[in-house]
Amino acid sequence: MCETYKSCRIPTMGKIKVSDVRVREVQREDLDDYIKYFFESSPEFLNGIGMRKPEKGQAEAFRAWWEERFKERESGGAPIPVLTVFYRGVRIGVHPSTHQEPGRSLIMHAVRTSSTGPSSWGHCG
């Protein structure tokens, strides 16, 4: 797993094997990278995926909102429809799912981050 957001080296993917990809529900340990994704990505990249770059001052409110979601889940609330994606054991992103049937089907748009910035690698289904 990457020690820091900026030092993360993503393996070259080439042809992706299903056995090389693992997903799990988002955990607190993923939160820092998720926040960095939105607050450190370029406005051009975020606009390209239909998002607006948030104001830097919104990061703490974003973190507090997520912390509340984790507390709700830990108190028996619904699962969070956001997944962490690993490729060959390396965490490559945290992504919302648009459709999920556990054990049967998952659709998401996975965007990875690296020292050169985010880049898209499609969706899993």
User: Using CA atoms, how far apart are residues 42 and 62, in angstroms rounded to an integer?
Assistant: 18
pLDDT category, 34, cuts 50, 70, 90?
confident
Top pLDDT among 5 and 53 is at 53
Q: Worst-scoring range by mean pLDDT, 12-16, 63-67, 119-123?
A: 119-123
Place of tokens 């898209």: 120
Highest mean pLDDT among 1-15, 26-40, 60-74: 60-74
User: Using CA atoms, how far apart are residues 107 and 109, in angstroms rounded to an integer?
Assistant: 7
Reported for 69-75, long-range contacts at CB under 8 A and 24+ positions apart, including other chains, are: 70/28
| pTM score | 0.63
- Which pair of tokens denotes residue 101? 């049937």
Check pLDDT > 50 for residue 79: yes
